[in-house]
Structure 1
Amino acid sequence: MEIKVIDNKILSDGYVFTKSFAMISKNKVFLVNQNQGTTILLDKSLIDDFVNDWLTRIDENLFSKFIQRNFIVKDKKSTKVKLNCLPTFFLIDFTNMCNFNCIYCFRDLKNNREITVDHLDDICDFIVDYCKKYRISRITVQPWGGEPLLAYKKIIYCYNRITKFGINVNMTIETNGSILNEEIIKFIKNNNVQIGISIDGNEYLHNKQRQSKTCDFNLILKNIQILHKNNIKDISSISVVTQKGIECIDSTVETIAEVFKINNLKLNLVHNSDFKDSYAQFSDAEIEEFVYRLYNTIKKYRIKNQKIIESNIQQRIKNLLYRNNSNICLSSGCQGGYRMISFSSNGDIYPCEMVDYEEEKIGSIYSGRDLIDMLLESTHEKKYFQRKYNIKCDDCPWWYYCKGGCTSAIRYAKTTSGVDEIGCRINKKLYMLIVEDILNDNLKDVFKEDNDE
């Protein structure tokens, strides 16, 4: 597959064709607009191999399509994308206590603490007042830990306190899966709570990375089977992949899909942490192997008509096909702080999941200030909100979706490059695999979502 850069070009009547990248196969061309993230699939003959001023000779129909998708604009300045500052995703730090001791945990687990009812009341009321002021009727709340279900009674209390004011709460809980009882099951089932369970692979790999007597693989399997028996459908898995786990990708996917019967997966490469021993930096070859093996393993299951989804892959497919900006992390750069904030157990406010980093504090629920005012002020003052950039970004087709990658990951890695290096390398490999399938007409049948049928 050949790649060509189409630089900004002034056309007639004040129109401008904005910088784009062309992925060229034998018969087709897939165009990606760098600043807008829009795409279009064309027959190669329509654009005559990008020679002889092809832009001046395209027909009216194609010209209109380019305008609709912001490849061609009337004024180059209009290509700037505004980032709205209106959080609707709230992470609440219920406890930093955990019954596991995962080798890669990035939380500060010293000085065990759990949120008090008084602080929880105040955080809930702050969220409710904010939603009323800005007429927000639907939000997402994610209880955080540690292991959040150690504080499950307070999680239920939090949900009830916010929803009684008429606010629709989508609650999502990421848990190690070791704690389950009838009260938790009833709460999950009655309120359509989304459950993400940490599963790192087969029994040997899972137990090796968890290092705790309570993390027994078979206990997690038993609890997930109970969830299935109670007809709880919104179950997903989150897997952390270390260097040792890359060679086990096939086994990890097989274990989750066939043993745990979970069809919605997420596999993330491990990031370094200030609170655990550091990991060696992944090499380019290791990252490429991870992406290639994961993509083709998921593809193998899809070809067999087993509708499993790996959310990192699926979101990037959505980016290319729809550009719906739906994902806080992957659709249009990191939007932590703009669309997602966290509350520490004492009511301090942070962007994304930065509650262990005092220097990134945005403010406090007790300051008497408006949340948006605190956020806008922080965008000018806090390191977290500084622009992420490396000179290599200038020639990257995937800039719109990435914009330097995960800010929290950069913070954990203490990188000096200015961007999330792991995320960058994943994007470069994964997007090209997806585009190859688009150009070869393989994507629609293999990766079509169930709800698209």
Structure 2
Amino acid sequence: MKFSQFNAIIPHSGKFALYNSFTQKVIFLEETLKDILQAALNENIDALNEVHPTFYNYLIKQEFIIENNIDEVDKVKKLVKKYDENTDSFLLTINPSMNCNFKCWYCYETHVKNSRLNAEMIKKINLFINKTANKEGIKVFTLSFFGGEPLLYFKKEVIPIIDTYVDACRANGLKPSIYFTTNGYLINDEFIAYFKNKGISCGFQITLDGYKEQHDLVRFVSANKGSYEEIIKNVKLLISNNFPVRLRINYTDKNIIGTHKIADEFNDLPKDIKQRNLLMDYQRVWQDDKIDNTFDVIDDNINKITDAGVNVTSTYSPNNVKNSCYADKRNSAVINYNGDLFKCTARDFTTIKRAGYLSDDGTLVWENNYLERRMSAKFNNKPCLSCKIMPLCNGGCSQHAMEHLASGLDYCVHHGDENKKMQIVKTKVDEIIEA
């Protein structure tokens, strides 16, 4: 028998939590039992059977101790394949433009003025939409808009695509599912009326860069006018009309403090509307990827946001196998305004970096075997294969995996910081307790 690779022991509420990141099971141990277990681990886990057979057999029953011949990494690989190779759904993301009405310092994209969909490209996209909706076995077809700012040319270039998509979905018994990643500044009553007249809703991710003062230093209309108040007003408009919003809080060590006050902006809305339609999501600005003690600051803000009646989440609770990144999935694609194909939206959309193109007949053409190379990129990184939280982290996304595989260097998305990993374990244990 062996102690599962995916077990972790952490102090918790005066006891010790034994947690398994694959089974999502947790048990709490008194210090005496924890010491007995660790003593056995230092020798041979089977020695525990001689010291405390009841405890030993219980750990076997709960899968904390497993048979020697079980390949735990292979179990994770099979689970990843189950989710990422699923072909009954498709996520299509479109960049209608690479232009934007803001210029945020951390944006990884190159803004391209006058970049927009032309009639020929809209025709190609609509051909692909009809093909996909008609494809045998498709049960879920999601349309997402990114950019740039996807609402810049909404009437002329986005509406014709949505109209085709909604008609294609309804003709094939599919429920339309539309999502926008936007800065939220251009949303108005006319925009909402369009969707209501179509009889559909859509979801949004809208970003704030901290509370008002910090946000307006980053995202502003002019030197004398910030964007915070307008964005908050538009978020209220959306959620009051039953459009769900993920309010992404891009944080750094400088703007994290006081972000809980954002939740107070929605105090005038009914609690049920906030609970149903609003989720605040903390995401660190990746250029500010420091190893620091922001966990406590985030926890404090999250507690205050929860007290204000708003749902909240953070990146410290990953579930990257069952909820892997859209770009990890075979059935996903990003079409740029010029027809270039990509998998990931978190990269610069330049033609030299494209993964393929959209053909004249509306077919996705992946160049240089890109799709297959990406789908097989994971599980080549040695540190991941021996990690306790592999079933949670999954080695990051396939974009990370491809880039590091090309460099030949080992990596860890948590910088190999065991404290950071154990903080993730603590978050998971807390979630299990609260469920």
Q: TM-score, normalised by structure 1?
A: 0.72
Q: Secondary structure at the match of 2:151?
A: helix
AA paired with 1:268? Q
CA distance in 2, matches of 1:358, 1:337: 22
CA distance in 2, matches of 1:423, 1:125: 44
Picking from 123, 126, 129, the partner of 2:125 is: 123
CA distance in 2, matches of 1:186, 1:211: 27
Residues 369/210 of structure 1: CA separation in 2 closer, same or farther (3 Å cut): closer
CA distance in 2, matches of 1:210, 1:157: 30
CA distance in 2, matches of 1:98, 1:411: 29
Q: Contact (CA 8 Å) 1:107, 1:356: kept in 2 or not?
A: yes
Q: Secondary structure at the match of 2:153?
A: helix
**2:341 counterpart residue number:** 349
RMSD: 3.9
AA paired with 2:425? M
**1:156 counterpart residue number:** 159
Q: Output one character per residue of 1:106-135: Cα deviation in whole Å (capped at 9) or x when no partner.
A: 111135311123312322321331343342
AA paired with 2:245? I
Q: Contact (CA 8 Å) 1:238, 1:266: kept in 2 or not?
A: yes
AA paired with 1:42? I
Q: Output one character per residue of 1:25-49: Cα deviation in whole Å (capped at 9) or x when no partner.
A: 465542325xxx2222235388952
**Offset of residue 374 of structure 1:** 4.2
Q: Contact (CA 8 Å) 1:30, 1:435: kept in 2 or not?
A: no
Q: Output one character per residue of 1:364-387: Cα deviation in whole Å (capped at 9) or x when no partner.
A: 23177975x9499324556x9634
Identity, in percent, stands at 19
Give unmatched runs, 5+ long, in structure 1.
1-8, 11-16, 273-280, 449-453
Picking from 359, 381, 385, the partner of 1:366 is: 359
CA distance in 1, matches of 2:397, 2:388: 17
CA distance in 1, matches of 2:235, 2:76: 46
CA distance in 2, matches of 1:224, 1:435: 30
**1:234 counterpart residue number:** 244
**2:265 counterpart residue number:** 259
Q: Contact (CA 8 Å) 2:202, 2:243: kept in 1 or not?
A: no
**1:191 counterpart residue number:** 200
CA distance in 2, matches of 1:347, 1:95: 11
**1:21 counterpart residue number:** 7
Q: How does 1:253-402 map to 2 (within 5 A)?
A: 253-255=260-262, 257-260=263-266, 263-272=278-287, 282-285=289-292, 288-289=293-294, 291-302=295-306, 304=307, 306-313=309-316, 316=318, 319=319, 325-329=321-325, 335-336=327-328, 338-353=330-345, 354=347, 356-366=349-359, 374=366, 377-381=369-373, 386-387=377-378, 391-402=382-393
AA paired with 1:38? T
CA distance in 1, matches of 2:68, 2:130: 41
Q: TM-score, normalised by structure 2?
A: 0.75
Residues 169/54 of structure 1: CA separation in 2 closer, same or farther (3 Å cut): farther
Q: Secondary structure at the match of 1:88?
A: strand
AA paired with 1:271? W
Q: How does 1:148-227 map to 2 (within 5 A)?
A: 148-153=150-155, 154-165=157-168, 166=170, 167-189=174-196, 190-213=199-222, 215-227=226-238
Aligned residues: 393
Whether 2:29 is the aligned partner of 1:44: answer: yes
CA distance in 2, matches of 1:112, 1:206: 27
**1:403 counterpart residue number:** 394
CA distance in 2, matches of 1:349, 1:126: 13
Give unmatched runs, 5+ long, in structure 2.
268-273
**Offset of residue 60 of structure 1:** 7.0
Q: Secondary structure at the match of 1:106?
A: coil
Residues 312/91 of structure 1: CA separation in 2 closer, same or farther (3 Å cut): same
Q: Contact (CA 8 Å) 1:23, 1:29: kept in 2 or not?
A: yes
Q: Output one character per residue of 1:348-406: Cα deviation in whole Å (capped at 9) or x when no partner.
A: 321122461445533223177975x9499324556x96347655435432122223324
Whether 2:32 is the aligned partner of 1:32: answer: no
**1:434 counterpart residue number:** 427
**Offset of residue 417 of structure 1:** 5.3
**1:76 counterpart residue number:** 71
Residues 283/221 of structure 1: CA separation in 2 closer, same or farther (3 Å cut): closer
